[in-house]
Structure 1
């Protein structure tokens, strides 16, 4: 019996010695896994921070002008949409200030006789437009072609249009909230239209729209697309027909191409705006769409390709 007892004790001692060894191995493995997971988390966090820093840094880059005419041309649609609404609501324009200037001049002789406040609405639009040009032109002190600058500019422009759309949608400004506009009006409807048109409330959305259009034309100048003012057709018609390269191939005269597209898009915006006003969607829908276009452009500038920076060249001709 003694040998058996000794063997049992030996086995027991052997098992008791093995347990701490097994426990130690398990702890080491768990620590290794924990350290590995921690390292992965740290690496992921570092990568995210690096990407975020890189993305923020890219906002300071100037945009590449390659295809940068596309957002500018899209603004022509906005001009057509908003002016179709502004004219039906107030008898004036929000972007095309040539017509407003004539309306203002006619006011000196109290014409048109049935619209005694037309000159005042025209004046409000002109002043708001001029203030917009002045305000947005200050971007030249903030790197005007920088991604962040352009994006903020178009965010502001879209917010002004959205505000005008909200005033129209809620009926706060009845002149801008019309739907199912008929091609002819009864005497009662005409009288109501004139009452809505003469309301001082129309100055608010009209001024908001005109102000942001000042920023729109400034942007076309900032990016160097002077041939696409986005809200002027008179000069577009003249420049297009007087272009010596009018009949050149499509790839040989990009300025002519932009002028043609700009004219088509302004007309398209006006046509779409008109039909929206004749539908249940009404004037507010045209304004929401116009604001949406500006918002999409603002987001697009953030992701726009950066302008290539030329490598610095040393005095001896070698690259730095």
Structure 2
């Protein structure tokens, strides 16, 4: 077949035409939902947008939770230490005068820790499906969406206020508010293990203390050129900060139920975005 004829193949080593490039970039709905596309591993270094959005959601969800009860749904270090202090209180003072009650704040911290672990355990499903496949990244993020939606419904039905004025008087105290804490923490636990499995500079996307330390220790910290190891860490930190700011601003405008409803929509958009993250095969072609 002649080279110039219609439908002919390009010569080996020749550069593809603009039409060929456009065809390579365009993806039909059939190809997006094909088994090969869904079960392909994504390239973690090219998943900047959804991972940065994960960090945004960490700040967003934590701002809603902390504003109401001064407990973090994502940062379990503080909750774990709080439970340790609750246990130490049992040995404070002389016998007979010790405070043996389980305070409301301690109950909320325990709820957050346990449900966070439950959400992280759900992430083990990804080990069977393929922790970096588009199918699991979509499904796992969609489960996070359902958890966030459930939290929004629970706090809406609870009738509890959105903000607290003092740590000694949390805004949430009834059973439905505890369910809200549980769903929010479970979503963060699942997000954390999924972020860890993708294995990028964004780390777990929920605990940024390590990211701060790694950023300060990065040998390319002051390099003027682009450096992924530094730039992605900065993006994650900024995204979390913006998420916390946006969460509190929306919370003040429409309440905690409305804010979590907005968070539900954002999580759904993230889940869909995983379909369009380039895969490792795509990068190597």
> Scaled by the length of structure 1, what TM-score is found?
0.69
What residue in structure 1 maps to residue 240 of structure 2?
266
Larger Rg: 1
Gaps of 5+ in 1: 1-49, 312-320
- Counterpart-to-counterpart distance in 2, 1:299 and 1:233: 25
More helix by share: 1
Partner of 2:274: 301
**Separation of aligned partners in 1, 2:109 and 2:186:** 13
- Answer with 208-217 or 102-111: which moved more: 102-111
Matched-pair contact (CA < 8 Å) for 2:86–2:102: no
Distance 2:121 2:208 in 1: 22
**Deviation string, structure 1 residues 137-163 (Cα, Å, up to 9, x no partner):** 231111121111111111111110011
Question: Residue 258 and residue 309 in structure 1: after superposition, are their counterparts in 2 closer, same or farther (change >3 A)?
Answer: closer
Q: Determine whether 1:210 maps to 2:185.
A: yes
Separation of aligned partners in 1, 2:283 and 2:159: 55
More moved, 267-276 vs 302-311: 302-311
Indicate how the Cα distance of structure 1 residues 62 and 233 shifts in structure 2: closer, same or farther if over 3 A, else same: closer
**Could you tell me whether the CA contact under 8 Å between 2:46 and 2:277 is conserved in 1?**
no
Q: Please give the root-mean-square deviation of Cα atoms over the aligned residues, in Å.
A: 2.8
Q: Kindly report which structure 2 residues correspond to 1:119-158, keeping only aligned pairs within 5 A, or say none.
A: 119-158=106-145
115-124 vs 86-95, greater mean Cα deviation = 115-124
Q: Please give the alpha-carbon distance, in whole angstroms, between the structure 1 residues aligned to 2:200 and 2:31.
A: 32
Query: How many Å separate the matches in 2 of 1:135 and 1:292?
Result: 21
CA contact (8 A) 1:160 1:212 kept: yes
Q: How far is the alpha carbon of 1:54 from its aligned partner?
A: 7.4
SS of 1:305's equivalent in the other structure is coil
Instruction: Tell me how far 1:51 sits from its aligned partner.
Output: 6.9
Contact 1:228–1:258 (Cα < 8 Å) also in 2: no
Q: What is the alpha-carbon distance in structure 2 between the residues aligned to residue 273 and residue 146 of structure 1?
A: 30
Query: In 2, are the aligned partners of 1:162 and 1:287 still within 8 Å (CA)?
Result: yes
Consecutive unaligned residues in structure 2, runs of 5 or more: 1-27, 91-98
Residue 104 of structure 2 is matched in structure 1 by 117
In structure 2, what is the equivalent of residue 173 of structure 1? 158
1:71 Cα deviation after fit: 0.5
Match in the other structure for 2:12 = none
CA shift for structure 1 position 285: 2.6
* Secondary structure of residue in 2 paired with 1:308: helix
The aligned length equals 247
Write the deviation string for residues 94-142 of structure 1: whole angstroms up to 9, x where unpaired: 111111112212212449x999221121111111111211221231111
CA deviations over 1:231-266 (Å, ceiling 9, x no partner): 112212211112222111341x21211111111111
2:63/2:247 contact within 8 Å kept: yes
TM-score (norm 2): 0.77
